[in-house]
Structure 1
Amino acid sequence: MAVTTTSVAGIVAGRNPLEYSASSPYTVFLFQAVFIILFCQIVHYPLSKIRQPKVIAEVITGILLGPSVMGHIPKFTTTCFSADSITGLTLMANVGIILFLFIVGLEVDIGFIRKNFRVAISVGIINMAVPFGLGCAVARGLYNEYHPENTSGEAIKFTTFMVFIAVAMCITAFPVLARILTELNLLKDRVGTIVLAAGITNDLLGWILLALSVTLANAGNGVNTVYIILLALGWFLFMTIPVRITLRYCLTRFTRDLERGSPSQLSMMFILVMVFISAFYTDIIGVHPIFGAFIVGVIVPRDNGFVVSLTEKIEDLVNVVLIPLYFALAGLNTNLGLLNRGIDWAYVVAIIVVALVGKISGGFAAAKMNKLLWRESLSVGVLMSCKGIVEIVVLTTGLKAGIISQRVFSMFIVMALVTTFLTTPLTLVTYPVSYRTKVQRFFNGEINWDGTPTKDALDSDAGAGAVVPGSTTHLLTLENMAKFRLTRLVVVLYDLESVSNIMYLLHNLSFTNSGRSTDDFKSPVQNYDVDIHALHIKEFTERTSHLIQASTSTTNLTSTGKKRADGVAERRPQGSLLNVLKVFTELNHIHYSSQQLLSTEKNRPQTIFDNVAEPSDFVVTSAKASQVIESLAVESASQATPSSPGSTTMSEFLDGHPSSQALYRGLFEQARCHVGLLIKTDVVSAPARGSTEKGYESEDDEDVKFGYDYSYLGINHINLVLDATTEITKHDLLALHLLLKMAYNYTSLTAINIFLGYSADDAAEFNQLDAFVQSIGGRKVNVVRISNPMPGRLVDDVLDRIPEATFKNGLFVVANNVASFEGAVLDDNTRELVAQSAMHGFNVLAVRAFGN
């Protein structure tokens, strides 16, 4: 075949790069791919601000590029999306949808269905049955009005058309649904559990029904239909029994990839070949290639996060490049201009109403059967009405098979967009966070249904922080300080630096050190062991691997590798951060458990507190002093000019800055247990080991010793700032308790100092606290009284008395006694300590006890 000069020389010889050439079809394809991908991102950006899934942007992109909008621009379609070039675009898009359905199969957790079998079956089937029946009714009117024909020009049988329309009505988009549940932090809520189980069931049944409808469309007669169904059933059994067993054996014994939790290149090759073989088989028997790919995804083992690692290797190519092409093609096939009659839009409205009413009423009825509250049940129905990405695949399959016309296809595309768009806002209306909190407190026995506290809750409130009625180990008062206990340390980690910053706290808050001499320290607080539960929080993104990881039930990961009391095997924690902490706890014989969690920025505090077992747990995390100071500067500026145009409030600043700022605000504000924030100085200092300096004379002529013994845990003196000029709070008492427990275990400390600010006007309360701290004996404990400090000047008075050289490598414990988080995140004393820490090189532990 002759080759022209322009095809070789390109634009230099005058070639039009957008003119399709059979010898180089990739030229136009590359332009189309770049155009579609970038356009999708532009459309998705504003939609992401209102929590809309990306599939909406991808379909809208296709509609905008298609005959509905830009198709009206002269020569736009013939230039950018000519008929000849669509073939190559369609080929790549269909390769993408085959791989995408394989990933969807990886998302299906059969074990989760088994664990929640009754709920999954009842809600899943009923939620499909109601809209399926309503879809059959709507199908009659659509069939009579639009007379669909197949690719050969013959009329589609009504039964085939009816089954397809009913499937399109009853389908739920599981990938989008799981992402919405994660975004709204509902995965561990009982509504989320039911919806997740029912969604998986709905997904499986939906694909089976769709395969049936495609089979009916492709079969020429009833005998062929039976043959196709038998061939498809035989392939399904072959894949799910011998192939699944063989695959598991090879991954376990041959490549050992299942043990490592990550596929090798050889395993990837075999699995992808299986995907294409299965897709090829289901296509040639007359079903559809996507079903073969889906089956392979379902049979891949899920042990040790294997499916997560497998998904990570292919998801970016599929989700970023290929899937936008597929949904853009769906949009190109959508011509809203065809809906040019009143009856067309009447059917559009009817389809939307039937889809919403059918799914919501079906989910509501099924949830009520499972004894959920009425608003919980309504939320189940709303969530199950999500169509999204799977609905588009179903509709495109029906269009290609000739089951529906382009006009009906356009109607259902509008329905899919509307129902998907409404899912998140309707869920927030029917199941707001305030209602979820009320339900949780009601089932915990804290309040009656009318919102009034229960008798037990009132009794425990009378105990100044009691969280277990009748148990003195949780009462936080001076009189009960010796009996008070922390139930568990919940450690929140983000990176390796956060592990090293917080490790010295864990070392001395978690276990009893029997090596301390009683001459060094005599504490009224009894020592006790505390378990550690580590949470490694990773950012939840749109990656499918994150979705699989977030929706997989992997809790109670421990370092023991043994079985829990319920007989479920415990798995070793994954991830370098958790492994570092595991080794540390094993060396110190501390009981340890861990979890790796995914969460969005806004949901981090909620995610953390969802993993708190008791209000008497102590959640502790760390942040850099520079980060905190930056936010305090913005807070001060916004409070100084609250009404100035363009001013930034503290809340706005934290919402716009992810990382730890929004986290520690949320931790203090939403606390469901005791909370501590270790604010680590950015100043690095390592003075000579063993050097010492004397301090100053206190008002009681006591020597306050400050020195350096640069221990391997990073600090050499602990200081407590207690402000007794106002009412002593439970937050102050928690700070005192933590100081005493840490001090008891730090054998290398050179000084333990308690700075006690008091006012003569409140002598009674001060005398009680002073008597308590005076009962602490030992040569390393110093109590420094500061009388009548100026308002907001207690920290300055403390630091003014300390020699500059002795600041570094110390820890100041302080209660965060902020009254309201509307105006500030930290109280004055804590704010001043943080500001000084960045200049002088000491660390600050700001704590807040459970309750107001």
Structure 2
Amino acid sequence: MNPAKIEDTLKLVLVSWIVIIAASWLVGRLCRRIGQPLAVGEIAAGLLLGPSFIGLFAPEFVSFIFPEEVKGPLALLAKIGLLLMLFQVGMEFDFSHLRSKSKVVVASSFMGMLAPLLGGLAIAPWLHRTFAPELPMFGFQMFVCIALSISALPIMGRILLEMKLERTALGATSISAAAIDDAVGWVFLGVATAIIKRGDNFSWLPFLGQVALILLYFVVLMKVVGPLLIKAWRKQCATHKTETFTPGYFAVLLCTLFVSALITSKLGIFAIFGAFALGVALHSEASLVKAWRERFADFVIIALVPIFFTNTGLNTKIGSFDNATAWIGCALVSIMAVVGKLGGCTIGARWAGATWRDSLSIGALMNTRALMGLIAISVGKDLGLLNDKLFTMFIIMCLVTTATTGPMLRAWLPEDLKKLVPKG
């Protein structure tokens, strides 16, 4: 690409980026005023800017603001933003509570997978028969089960951060259970992808070896890489008499972060899990976490992460719902998602000994699907398992489950934790 072409593309990307930041910030703050997380506003901004709203009245405006040339660069910026955000989410959580809460974590994560899986098996045949009989039934059914089972780990993290609950036992329990569910969900998604792509050539032995390598890598991060980075951080703080990033340490940290993301991607799970795992490996070093938050958090959350949500909204076509049956299908997907995840996690946590308020709060948090659900849905569409109508149904499900998280959490939080939540 010649320099002039690069400059022209840069101008287009900057225009699109300005619109995304402004729209996400404005709609996000409006949603926040009514008790919704910023992520809901960012998804809503994408829907408003896309074919579901402005595109109906002024499609030429949408094409002007988001031409084909900018889609690749914006998607790349979004991916980098997700990596940095997942790294921050991993660092922000205090996992010291988990020794006393491990039973609740396991029970809520197990039931949070089982109940939605059963719900997916129940509704997938009707969805397939009614809306996409031409799609492969087995792959479609696997995808529905996975989409209903996943929780949105990074969005849960943002909600907890916004509500000042990140260092509570409830926050650590919920984020750990969500991490387990997401990891299992991505494993299932990987299996489904392999089965659909390879057909009869799929083999379980290489897959089990891949899982063993993933577990080994996480152990290396926690026991070797994390401690070495923390030791280097303390040394640079002592040498320079400051608890902020020096250029040298920041370069090492970024390189380690990107290498970790590359390794998990190579091992068959999403690169963002490598970023999250490295963040977890560093979470015990409070001064490092504080330095990252003060220097980079706002840029990541305001400038990079909204790009992903906006892109999703631009690809959502509510206008494809051309009859009452489509809306019934959309409602069924959302209802089954809420009943399965909220109900399953609540029952699991309560069975493990948590109070009803804690159990319901965990269920409400686990019910949010936004980011990870949207990624899974995008994979499903890329695999040819979703048409536009089904894709939109699952996008709306992600929005509904995320939008209901804040109000449910505010209603069900234990009284001592409600005092921590900022007003408005």
CA 1:93/1:124 → structure 2, altered by over 3 Å: closer, same or farther?
A: same
Aligned alpha-carbon RMSD (Å): 3.5
- 2:36 alignment partner, SS class: coil
Counterpart position of 1:120: 105
Matched, 1:209 2:185: yes
**Structure 2 match to 1:58:** 42
Equivalent in the alignment of 1:78: 63
Identity among equivalent positions (%) equals: 26
Work out the CA distance in 2 between the residues paired with 1:174 and 1:2.
Answer: 40
User: Structure 2 vs 1, CA of residues 599 and 263 (structure 1 numbering), >3 Å: closer, same or farther?
Assistant: farther
Instruction: Determine the structure 2 residue equivalent to 1:237.
Output: 215
Deviation track 1:780-831 (CA, whole Å, cap 9, x = no partner) reads xxxxxxxxxxxxxxxxxxxxxxxxxxxxxxxxxxxxxxxxxxxxxxxxxxxx
* Larger gyration radius, structure 1 or structure 2: 1
Taking structure 1 as reference, are residues 31 and 338 closer, same or farther at Cα in structure 2, changes over 3 Å only? same
1:89 match: 74
Q: Which amino acid aligns with 2:49?
A: L
> Deviations for 1:486-524, whole angstroms, at most 9, x for unmatched residues?
xxxxxxxxxxxxxxxxxxxxxxxxxxxxxxxxxxxxxxx
Q: 1:61 to 1:187 in 2, by over 3 A?
A: closer
Counterpart of 2:229? 251
Cα distance in 2 for residues equivalent to 1:347 and 1:91: 33
Once the 2 structures are TM-superposed, how far is the Cα of residue 39 of structure 1 from its aligned partner?
1.0
In 1, Cα distance between equivalents of 2:2 and 2:225: 49
Matches of residues 414-453 of structure 1 in structure 2 within 5 Å? 414-429=396-411, 431=412
Return the offset for 1:335.
Answer: 0.8
| C-alpha distance after superposition, 1:315-344 (max 9, x if no partner) | 233211111111100111111111222221
Letter in 1 for 2:217: M
Change in Cα spacing, 1:301 to 1:106, as seen in structure 2 (3 Å) is: closer
On the 8 A contact 2:51/2:59 being kept in 1, the answer is: no
- Secondary structure in 2 matching 1:271: helix
In 1, Cα distance between the equivalents of 2:217 and 2:19? 39
In 1, Cα distance between equivalents of 2:11 and 2:383: 29
Question: 2:89–2:157: 8 Å Cα contact kept in structure 1?
Answer: no
Find 2:120's aligned residue among 127, 135, 140.
Answer: 135
Aligned to 2:28: 44
- TM-score relative to the length of structure 1: 0.44
Cα displacement (A) at 1:257: 4.9
Aligned-partner Cα distance in 2 for 1:249–1:376 = 33
Q: Map 1:254-653; keep pairs closer than 5 Å.
A: 254=232, 256-257=234-235, 264-284=246-266, 287-372=269-354, 374=356, 377-429=359-411, 431=412, 601-602=422-423
Rounded to whole Å, the distance in 1 between the matches of 2:164 and 2:87 is: 26
Structure 1 residue 112, shift from structure 2 partner: 3.5
Say whether the 8 Å CA contact 2:29–2:38 is kept in structure 1: no
Pick the aligned partner of 1:172 from 134, 151, 162: 151
CA distance in structure 1 between the partners assigned to 2:99 and 2:51 by the alignment: 47
Asked if the contact 1:120/1:201 (under 8 Å) is kept, the reply is yes
**Alpha-carbon displacement from aligned partner over 1:515-572 (angstroms, at most 9, x marks no partner):** xxxxxxxxxxxxxxxxxxxxxxxxxxxxxxxxxxx9xxxxxxxxxxxxxxxxxxxxxx
**Which structure shows the bigger proportion of residues in strand conformation?**
1
Cα offset, 1:164, TM superposition: 3.0
Contact 1:182 1:599 in 2 (8 A): no
Task: Tell me the SS of whatever aligns to 2:35.
Answer: coil
Q: CA deviation at 1:146?
A: 4.0
CA contact (8 A) 1:167 1:206 kept: no
Structure 2 CA distance for partners of 1:249 and 1:364, relative to 1, 3 Å: closer
Question: 5+ unaligned residues in a row in structure 2: which ranges?
Answer: none
SS at match of 2:316: coil
1:583-732 matches, cutoff 5 A: 601-602=422-423
Change (3 A) 1:229 1:298: farther
CA separation in 2, counterparts of 1:176 and 1:351? 20
Structure 1 pair 87–173 and aligned structure 2 pair: CA distance change class (3 A): closer
Q: Against the structure 1 CA distance between its residues 111 and 147, is the aligned structure 2 distance closer, same or farther, given a 3 Å change threshold? A: farther
Q: Say whether 1:193 aligns with 2:169.
A: yes
Are residues 50 and 237 of structure 1, via their aligned partners in 2, closer, same or farther at CA, if it must alter by over 3 Å? same
Q: Which residue in 2 is equivalent to 1:677?
A: none
SS at match of 2:68: coil
Q: Where does the alignment leave 5 or more consecutive residues of structure 1 unmatched?
A: 8-20, 150-154, 441-549, 551-597, 603-654, 656-852
- How far 1:184 moved relative to its partner? 6.1
